[in-house]
Structures are given as C-alpha cells and as structure tokens.
Amino acid sequence: MIRIDVKVPTPPAPRGIFFEAAVNTMKRQHAFAYFVFYKPYGVLCQFTDTGGRPTLSSYGPFPKDVYSVGRLDADSEGLLLLTNDNSMKHHLLDPGFGHDRTYLVQVEHIPGQDALAQLREGVVIEGRRTKRAHVRLLSTPPTVPQRSVPIRFRKNVPTAWIELTLTEGRNRQVRKMTASVGHPTLRLIRTSFGPLTLEGLAPGESRRLRTSELDVLLSEITRSAQRRSS
C-alpha cells in the first residue's frame, strides 16, 4: 500500500511533532482507511480476546490493519474512529493538540453548580489535575438507543444527564471525574470526536468517512499543529 503524504510547510511543533497533511484528500483516502463505528455496550475496542468477549471483529467488515484511535471501556458506548493512518492517530490522541471529545453521561443524583464547576475547572485524578472541560447539565434526558443491559436503577436515587467535552483521554477519565465529585457514572456515550459524529449510525453500525468529513478532520489537525508550533 502506497502512502502519499507531504509535510505541512510550517515550523515543526514542540518535540519535533508535526502532521503530514495530504495535498489532496482523495489521495489520502486511497492511501488509508477511515471508519466511524458506533461501539455498542459490552464490546471491547480490539479485534481479539482470549476470554471470548465480543470484539470489533464481530462488526464491520474492517481491513485487517485498522485499529481504534483511543479506546472506550467495554461498558461505554459511542463513537470510535478506526484507521491505519498512524500520523492521524498520534495527533488525535496527543493531549498537546487538544482535540475535543464529547460525551453524554448519565450520573447518580443531580449535580449542583459546585460539582459542575469542579468538573469544568478540573479535578485531581491519581495525583494529576484534569484539563478544563465544557460541562452542561441537560434539562431533559437525551434521545439515545436502549442499552442491551439496562443501567442499575435504585428507587430512591434520582439520575441526571450531563454533556461533557474533554480535550484529553486518560484511562476511564470521565468515570473517575464524575465519581470524584460524588456522582458515579451509570451510562457513558461518546457522541463526537473532533468534527466527527454518530449521525446516521445505530449501535453496531459503521461507515467510511465521507470525503467532506476527512477534509474537515485534516484541516482541524493541521490547525492544531500550527497552533502548537506558534
């Protein structure tokens, strides 16, 4: 498989990191594969599992050399980007480039303004403070697909939904953040990653990125690299 890249004509980003943007989006589509996948509950973000649990290999079909950009826990749902473009993977996952990830999060109890402010400003997880986040308490529950395994309801414990946008992706970060302010996560759905969304997909469904989506994604990555190098 032939890779057709050119370096962006800007100064290198810190630590020599830069994004190799294609001159033509169509050429990049021929060189690499890009899929958006709506990961269902209970599915691992990998293609094999010695324990026999559901994996990505049960869906698709996907090319053998694609892998997910970042991970969602088995008990989390939502958007996964699958690709064999390693430059893109690096730039989307490096927190220094600050690409948004948005989640719908169902939590126990109804968060007050103090809890929401803590999530926005950052909470300390395992000795390190999270970056500032966008947080919004939803006034009504969002319209989302039913989960194959219902959440644990407790009769005397109300629940609420928040929309949370992060620019980093630490291990089980959302769950640890909400737990740290007294609101354990009951359900977690990633609805977007950068400019990519779940529009038109149901759990278990996937599609190749449209030319327009890839063009927007490449443009965003290039801008983030330029901001970091300036």
State the amino acid at position 218 in one-letter form: L
Tokens representing 171 are 């291990």
Instruction: For helices 113-121 and 173-180, give the axis angle rounded to 10 degrees.
Output: 140
State the amino acid at position 14 in one-letter form: P
Supply the residues annotated as catalytic: 73
CA count, 13 A, side-chain hemisphere, 136:
11
CA distance 92 to 167: 10
**3-state DSSP assignment of residue 159:** strand
Residues paired with residue 79 on neighbouring β-strands, in sequence order: 38
Say if CB 114 and CB 125 are below 8 A apart.
no
